[in-house]
């Protein structure tokens, strides 16, 4: 109530000011008409006689044209335009009324023009003078000196938000932008002082305390370069999210955040055929195995948006299942959701699950994935990754499931470890199932995802928080990375592209050095590598490769309808060899015979036996 009264009083004061300016401008027009001298009595009398009508008409037009929608503090060009419209209309209407009353006897016509000019100045002048006074105080206020990187629309809006911030914590000093056409120009009174390469010099010359990156449309390569320059400048920096993360194009001080590793390693926005994905998933019962894991839970989130008839989550971790169920019921209260605690290797439980809910699509994300841990526990890797896949795939076939999408990994290519070999056998198994099933068996293969459970990023972050050291196995080791949402979305895209039997390879971009990843995480934490936090190289772990691959040399690659998805065609092993080897593998797994398990894996995946150093193959169509 108090705030409303304050607004009413403020508008009333402005309206009273404007009404007072009308007689000043009207009589001022007469005074100018008579060369700043005394106004003859007949003319002065007529001026006073028609003045009430002019005030009423002009005041009504002020209100009609919305002069009191704006705030003096932020007076701008739209406010000036409203004043011009109101005054021009007032001159015309007042002239017509005065003519009707006096036939312009003793009323010089030039008075109306002079009156209009004076009134525009008397209305606009105080408004803009008030804004200049306020802006002068803002520009000369105390606060942290801020340099804005990016003089585009986002930078301009951010500067405006900083200047209007009532707390006045930050004081913008200027911009830098690589667009040479903007150099030397002013935006909201702030100069564009140079390009991004000039940031260290500008920071020193202007006493910059904080750098703000207003580059929501920047590519990964551009952002990595600019972040490197900011790090060299030695001052903290913050960033606006990427454009796809900004709601309705909102750009404000509240949106600023610290730079994340996803900003540097994430890629450009992936364009998806959401219509095809929606048509393929809407109204269907969908089962996700491993639905509480990093990829599985993101698939749950993406699919929940598509309004399936029912979403069934199979997960062996009680806590993970509880977490994703709680999130989905909160965010999608109308979603028909079934959360099942169970194991894909439990054949009776899987049979009952599929006979009860009869899913039309299955996304198989359940798998063990930790390479060093599984090297000495091959039986666990094979039981889960191979025979868990066989149990679920066979049930999908029996119950007429339309599509079975298996999530694979780049470690399945020329694997030198048990984990990768087990995933490769699962790929082969799904391809073999396609030959004797009406279900579409589709495999999607990709590399590491940023921030997934057990991945290198959370490990490095824990090590940094503990004061170091950060452990990297080898200075030259590289890995492919993508974000969890991007991986999940491309999996959905591949699921609607696939006709069955394919192995789709997601374009992972360029491989990233793990040493670079460690350095960036240390820098983003506000510390210096080798000074505050040491990086220690520990040597390659059992089964670990220096460089991962995305496809075999013998696989025939083909483009698909989506530029980020490639099709890898490969020949299957002999069906009898596959069946006999799987039988031996299952028997060895039950006995926990690690040696025999490795021998059987090597029969199907020779790379694990030779443990050769792979030749790195870079994905096509990189971003």
DSSP H or E stretch at residue 88? helix 77-102
Spatial CA neighbour of 163 closest among 139, 132, 131: 139
H runs (alpha helix) in 282-387: 294-304, 318-331, 347-357, 371-375, 378-381
H runs (alpha helix) in 530-618: 575-590, 594-604, 607-610
DSSP H or E stretch at residue 12? helix 2-33
Q: How far apart are CA 454 and CA 71, in angstroms?
A: 54
DSSP H or E stretch at residue 408? strand 403-409
- CB–CB of 493/562 below 8 Å? yes
Instruction: Give me the catalytic one of 411, 423, 545, 564.
Output: 411
Q: How far apart are CA 196 and CA 297, in angstroms?
A: 39
Q: Are strands 170-176 and 440-446 parallel, antiparallel or unpaired?
A: unpaired
As given in the structure block, the two tokens for residue 183 are 């150099």
As given in the structure block, the two tokens for residue 397 are 């076939």
Q: How far apart are CA 70 and CA 72, in angstroms?
A: 7
* Angle made by CA atoms 446, 451, 452, in degrees to the nearest 5: 60
As given in the structure block, the two tokens for residue 376 are 């000495």
SS3 401: coil
Q: How far apart are CA 197 and CA 489, in angstroms?
A: 36
SS3 416: coil
Instruction: Tell me if residue 411 is catalytic.
Output: yes
H runs (alpha helix) in 417-466: 418-434, 456-465
- CB–CB of 313/323 below 8 Å? no
- CB–CB of 112/104 below 8 Å? no
The sign of the dihedral angle between the CA atoms of 448, 368, 487, 326 is negative
Q: Are strands 361-364 and 285-289 parallel, antiparallel or unpaired?
A: parallel
Strand 257-258's sheet: what is its strand order?
A: 186-187, 190-194, 170-176, 144-149, 210-213, 237-239, 257-258
- CB–CB of 432/578 below 8 Å? yes
Tell me the HSE value of 225 on the side-chain side, using a 13 A CA sphere: 12
Q: How far apart are CA 551 and CA 617, in angstroms?
A: 8
Cβ atoms within 10 A of the Cβ of 271, count? 10
Burial (CB < 10 A; 0-12, 13-18, 19+), residue 25, is buried
Tell me the HSE value of 72 on the side-chain side, using a 13 A CA sphere: 19
**Which value, in Å, is the radius of gyration of the alpha carbons in the chain?**
35
Residues designated catalytic: 411
């Amino acid at each position: 109530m108090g705030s409303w009264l304050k607004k009413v009083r403020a508008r009333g004061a402005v309206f009273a000011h404007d009404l007072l300016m009308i007689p000043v401008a009207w009589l001022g027009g007469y005074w100018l008409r008579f060369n700043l001298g005394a106004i003859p009595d007949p003319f002065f009398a007529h001026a006073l006689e028609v003045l009430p009508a002019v005030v009423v008409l002009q005041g009504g037009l002020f209100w009609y044209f919305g002069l009191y929608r704006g705030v003096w503090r932020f007076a701008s060009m739209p406010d000036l335009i409203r004043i011009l419209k109101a005054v021009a209309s007032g001159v015309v209407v007042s002239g017509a009324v005065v003519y009707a009353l006096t036939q312009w006897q003793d009323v010089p016509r030039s008075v109306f023009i002079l009156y209009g000019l004076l009134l525009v100045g008397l209305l606009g002048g105080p408004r803009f003078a008030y804004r200049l006074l306020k802006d002068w105080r803002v520009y000369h206020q105390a606060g942290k000196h801020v340099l804005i990187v990016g003089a585009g629309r986002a930078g301009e809006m951010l500067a405006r938000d900083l200047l209007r911030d009532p707390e006045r914590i930050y004081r913008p000093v200027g911009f830098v932008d690589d667009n040479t056409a903007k150099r030397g120009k002013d935006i909201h009174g702030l100069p564009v002082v140079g390009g991004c390469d000039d940031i260290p010099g500008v920071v020193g010359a202007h006493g910059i305390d904080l750098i703000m990156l207003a580059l929501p449309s920047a590519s990964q390569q551009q952002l990595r370069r600019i972040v490197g320059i900011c790090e060299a400048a030695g001052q903290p920096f913050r960033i606006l999210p990427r454009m796809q993360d900004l709601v309705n194009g909102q750009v404000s001080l509240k949106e600023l955040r610290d730079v994340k590793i996803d900003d540097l390693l994430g890629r450009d926005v992936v364009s998806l055929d959401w219509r095809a994905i929606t048509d393929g998933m809407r109204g269907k019962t969908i089962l996700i195995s491993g639905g509480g894991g990093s990829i599985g839970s993101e698939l749950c989130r993406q699919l929940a948006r598509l309004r399936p008839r029912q979403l069934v989550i199979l997960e062996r971790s009680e806590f993970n299942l509880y977490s994703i169920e709680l999130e989905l019921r909160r965010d999608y209260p109308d979603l028909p959701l079934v959360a099942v605690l169970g194991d894909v290797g439990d054949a009776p439980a899987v049979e009952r699950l599929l006979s009860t809910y009869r899913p039309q699509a299955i996304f198989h994300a359940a798998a063990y994935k930790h390479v060093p841990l599984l090297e000495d526990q091959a039986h666990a890797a094979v039981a889960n990754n191979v025979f868990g896949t066989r149990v679920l795939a066979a049930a999908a076939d029996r119950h007429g499931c339309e599509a079975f999408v298996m999530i694979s990994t780049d470690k399945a290519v020329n694997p030198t470890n048990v984990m990768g070999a087990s995933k490769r056998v699962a790929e082969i198994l799904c391809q073999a199932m396609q030959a004797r099933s009406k279900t579409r068996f589709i495999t999607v293969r990709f590399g590491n995802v940023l921030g997934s459970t057990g991945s290198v990023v959370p490990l490095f972050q824990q090590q940094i928080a503990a004061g170091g050291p950060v452990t990297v196995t080898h200075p030259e080791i590289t890995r492919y990375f993508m974000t969890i949402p991007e991986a999940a979305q491309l999996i959905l895209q591949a699921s609607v592209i696939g006709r069955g039997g394919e192995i789709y390879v997601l374009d992972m971009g360029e491989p990233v050095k793990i040493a670079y990843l460690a350095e960036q995480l240390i820098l983003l934490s506000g510390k210096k590598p080798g000074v505050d936090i040491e990086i220690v190289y520990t040597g390659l772990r059992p089964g670990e490769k220096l460089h991962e691959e995305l496809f075999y040399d013998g696989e025939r690659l083909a483009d698909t309808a989506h530029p980020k998805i490639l099709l890898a065609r490969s020949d299957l092993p002999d069906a009898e060899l596959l069946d006999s080897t799987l039988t031996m593998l299952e028997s060895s797994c039950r006995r926990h015979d690690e040696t025999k398990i490795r021998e059987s894996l090597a029969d199907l995946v020779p790379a694990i036996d030779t443990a050769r150093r792979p030749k790195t193959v870079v994905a096509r169509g990189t971003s």
